[in-house]
Amino acid sequence: MLAAARAGESALLVAPTGGGKTLAGFLPSLIDLAGRPTKGLHTLYISPLKALAVDIHRNLETPIAEMELPIAAETRTGDTKASKRARQRRRPPQMLMTTPESLALLISYPEAPAMFGGLQAVIVDELHAIAGSKRGDLLALGLARLTKLAPHARRVGLSATVADPAQLADWLGSGMAGAVAKIIGSGGAKPEIGILMPEARMPWAGHMALHALPEVYNAIRNARTTIVFVNTRAQAELVFGELWRMNADDLPIALHHGSLAPEQRRKVEAAMAAGRLRAVVATSSLDLGLDWGEVDLVIQVGAPKGATRLTQRIGRSNHRLDKPSRALLVPANRFEVLECRAALDAIEAQELDGEPPRIGGLDVLAQHVLCVACSLPSAADALFAEVRSAAPYRDLPRTDFDDVLAFVATGGYALGAYDRFKRLRQDTDGRWTIASKQAAHQYRMNVGTIVEAPMLPVQFKRGRRLGMVEEYFVQFLEPGDSFQFAGQILRFEGLRDGAVEVTRSSAAEPKVPAYEGGRLPLTTELAARVRAMIGDDRAWRALGGEVREWLSIQRKRSVLPRRDGLLVETFPRGRNFFLVAYCFEGRNAHQTLGMLLTRRMERAGFRPMGFVASDYVIAVWSLRPPRGIDALFDQDMLGDDLEAWMAESSMLKRTFRNVAVIAGLIERRHPGKEKSGRQVNFNADLIYDVLRKHEPDHILLRATRQDAAGGLTDIKRLADMLARVKGRIVHRALDRVSPLAVPVLLEIGKESVYGQGIDALLDEAAEALIAEATSEDTAAQGTLL
């Protein structure tokens, strides 16, 4: 690390948490500044979490004070006071800890060249969590700008263990003169991971793992400090509630997820850091960040979904390299037993799952172009070259860049309708610059790439704010309904001034808010392992008696899905005929497959009635028995049907909304600052429909399609699967449901489909659903019409 710094080289340090990574990143700067004190900003530290930036700042203050170094270190986040921010721009400290969004803001000011001119080092923490996302695109463009302002500043990346460090190093060093030194830390002691096989029967379906919570509670009791990781916020609320119900010892157990009020989260983090908690139930909101030396056990409730993610979560325990991390996996159903075992094997074999490099979003680029224009006049050619020096935009075509620039300047519409309402103007040298103070202000109010679903604050009458729930959930509430949130049971009193007003309640069966996103699909690597495991009965021993028996009966009654090829079962049940395909390609891919299959079955006259997708299988039911299974799964389903569906899908509409917000077409909603007006200003769906009809090739629609195609890696998975199984489909026509099909059938109707699942239904079944819902109302119709 020091050698690389002395040589002025950039470096990527990959090591598990607890390896002292962060300090290693700062060490060269500390030495440099101690030996040759300089004025002005010397080292910039960027972290994906505000809390982490604050914590690192605290941790650095100690050595700086103890060694009496003449170094000023400060944080700069959205929480920093305006007066301090202004001062930081004029007289920056030597070390500044910030976030990608705050960096974007900093470089948007005319003072940026002076502020960053003397910069020596940029440290990017938790790089693995940023690169490969839109936030990563924003940061890559910010880094490119920094290199323009301070060509000699080296970059330092800090990352947890990843599948492909070379790819990350390439991202980090893009546009830099020299190579990036890769420093791969030793793995430390191997983690000790167990799978919890509870006393109670292993459930056939469900994701909450409530059956295993007594054992989870015991594990918490026997450990010093435990993080209980779950996959969704709804799961967090339920697991937390259940643990407290059985908490006879009054153990201090806390809750942490992304919808809780920030103050609440900070309190939990502080209690955790001080060692005052025995356990915290958390979502990915705790995947990153603070080193908690006290944590000696990590429990993953529900399927891990990917080996890399699990490794990183397990790494949150026991931050000492000489001692192994301890972890416990808690499968919630039988398929999850397979998945947990597969993840464990993958970690044992040190096979992590990687993702292909990301192509930079055009919406993020639009935001950045506006950012640069706010700071300094820029020539299009120079800016294009600068943008291409960022890894995600390496292959950006000039035409895309020009279209983005035109969009930022005047909307970029074919007719040039808005030429008189410029956001950018060209100076006498042809350089682009911001046209008005108002436009710069708008940029700064809308910076960032994270677009939340519309949320509403939850608060007590005349009182404390507990956090935010999605507006969508609130639509289902009537005054008097109770729901579980922030670890409490609350009674919905009504909406007042855009806030959800609640009182405490003790209702027995509260609802639990569901949230969009957060549910990761099973990775390709784990899916392959699960398939292989099912096909190999020697591997079953590790799965426990119930699962072993389940698979044996499946073999007798039907056949086991093979490692290659595709098993498709059909059987009658009630008035319907079911088709179950064991694809193991993850929920999102199966949702798409369900859409396409039902379209095709409709055309074939099988009269499909619905489908349900899990991470492992897809089940479709129809009024007539499906025939010609090989033809149903033909690869050509990804042609016209897919295009037709994509164009209409509300998934694209939602993608468009995000793109439009990031690109600056639509202003962000600032919760609490909205007028409590009666009408929303406009609806992104309406704009999407109009734009698609009148200018289908507009840059924002191209950005939307690119985004959807990238987000839909599941379509690629689907294509790969259809190619792989061609000519190798095993069809079993059964007289009744098979053991392996039971779990997915249990999901029908129980599964509250959300996010992409809802699109599937809305897009094609809206009319049918409404017709069903209306049929009960024929009597009322008679009286009114």
CB of 309 to other proteins, least distance (A): 27
Closer residue to other proteins, CB minimum distance, 3 or 780: 780
Alpha helices in 604-741 (DSSP H): 629-632, 640-648, 650-663, 684-694, 699-711, 713-725
Radius of gyration of the chain (CA): 27
CB of 329 to other proteins, least distance (A): 29
Closer residue to other proteins, CB minimum distance, 17 or 658: 658
Cα distance between residue 266 and residue 263, in whole Å:
5
Which residue type, as a one-letter code, is found at position 371? C
Closer residue to other proteins, CB minimum distance, 524 or 704: 704
Closer residue to other proteins, CB minimum distance, 508 or 773: 773
Secondary structure (DSSP) of 638-651: GTHHHHHHHHH-HH
Greatest CA separation found in the chain?
89
CB of 678 to other proteins, least distance (A): 5
Closer residue to other proteins, CB minimum distance, 86 or 766: 766
Cα distance between residue 610 and residue 591, in whole Å:
11
CB of 588 to other proteins, least distance (A): 17
Closer residue to other proteins, CB minimum distance, 644 or 780: 780
CB of 775 to other proteins, least distance (A): 11
Closer residue to other proteins, CB minimum distance, 232 or 325: 232
Q: Let me know how many helices (H) and strands (E) the chain has, helices first.
A: 31, 25
| CA angle centred on 538, ends 533 and 540, rounded to 5° | 60
Q: Are 233 and 259 in contact (CB under 8 A)?
A: yes
Q: Are 197 and 216 in contact (CB under 8 A)?
A: no
CB of 418 to other proteins, least distance (A): 5
Closer residue to other proteins, CB minimum distance, 350 or 438: 438
Cα distance between residue 586 and residue 593, in whole Å:
11
Which residue type, as a one-letter code, is found at position 508? A
Report residue 600 as tokens: 């095709």
Q: Phi-psi category of 228—alpha, beta or left, where left has phi over 0 and alpha has psi -120 to 50?
A: beta
Cα distance between residue 225 and residue 278, in whole Å:
5
CB of 478 to other proteins, least distance (A): 6
The secondary element (H helix, E strand) that includes residue 194 is: strand 192-195
Closer residue to other proteins, CB minimum distance, 93 or 664: 664
Closer residue to other proteins, CB minimum distance, 218 or 438: 438
Q: Which residues bind other proteins (CB under 8 A)?
A: 407, 410-413, 415, 417-418, 421, 423, 436, 438-439, 442, 472, 475-476, 478, 573-576, 609-610, 621, 664-667, 678-683, 686-687, 689-691, 693-695, 698, 745, 748-749, 752-753, 758, 761-762, 766-767, 769-774, 777, 780-781, 784-785
What are the backbone dihedrals phi and psi of residue 633, each rounded to the nearest 5 degrees, phi first? -95, 20
CB of 289 to other proteins, least distance (A): 34
Beta-strand ranges (E) seen in 414-558 are 424-426, 432-434, 455-460, 465-470, 482-485, 488-496, 499-504
Q: Are 289 and 266 in contact (CB under 8 A)?
A: no
**Of 605, 554, 603, which Cα lies nearest the Cα of 580?**
554
CB of 686 to other proteins, least distance (A): 6
How far separated are the first and last CA of the chain, in Å rounded? 79
CB of 711 to other proteins, least distance (A): 21
Residue 457 bridge partners (DSSP): 468
Closer residue to other proteins, CB minimum distance, 610 or 711: 610
CB of 753 to other proteins, least distance (A): 6
DSSP state of 190: P
CB of 694 to other proteins, least distance (A): 4
Closer residue to other proteins, CB minimum distance, 59 or 446: 446
Half-sphere exposure of 694 (CA within 13 A, CB side): 9
What are the backbone dihedrals phi and psi of residue 680, each rounded to the nearest 5 degrees, phi first? -70, 150
CB of 471 to other proteins, least distance (A): 11
CB of 607 to other proteins, least distance (A): 13
Secondary structure (DSSP) of 750-783: TS---THHHHHHHHHHHHHHHHHHHHTTHHHHHH
Closer residue to other proteins, CB minimum distance, 194 or 418: 418
Closer residue to other proteins, CB minimum distance, 22 or 235: 235
**Of 388, 447, 402, which Cα lies nearest the Cα of 108?**
447
Distances (CA, A) of 374 to 105, 444, 461: 10, 9, 42
CB of 476 to other proteins, least distance (A): 6
CB of 574 to other proteins, least distance (A): 3
Report residue 559 as tokens: 């056949």
Closer residue to other proteins, CB minimum distance, 334 or 698: 698
Closer residue to other proteins, CB minimum distance, 356 or 696: 696
Cα distance between residue 32 and residue 600, in whole Å:
67
Cα distance between residue 173 and residue 450, in whole Å:
25
Q: Which residue has the tokens 């295993």?
A: 212
Q: Is 262 in a helix, a strand, or coil? A: helix
> 3-state SS string over 102-143?
HHHHHCCCCCHHHHHCCCCEEEECCHHHHCCCHHHHHHHHHH
Closer residue to other proteins, CB minimum distance, 164 or 689: 689
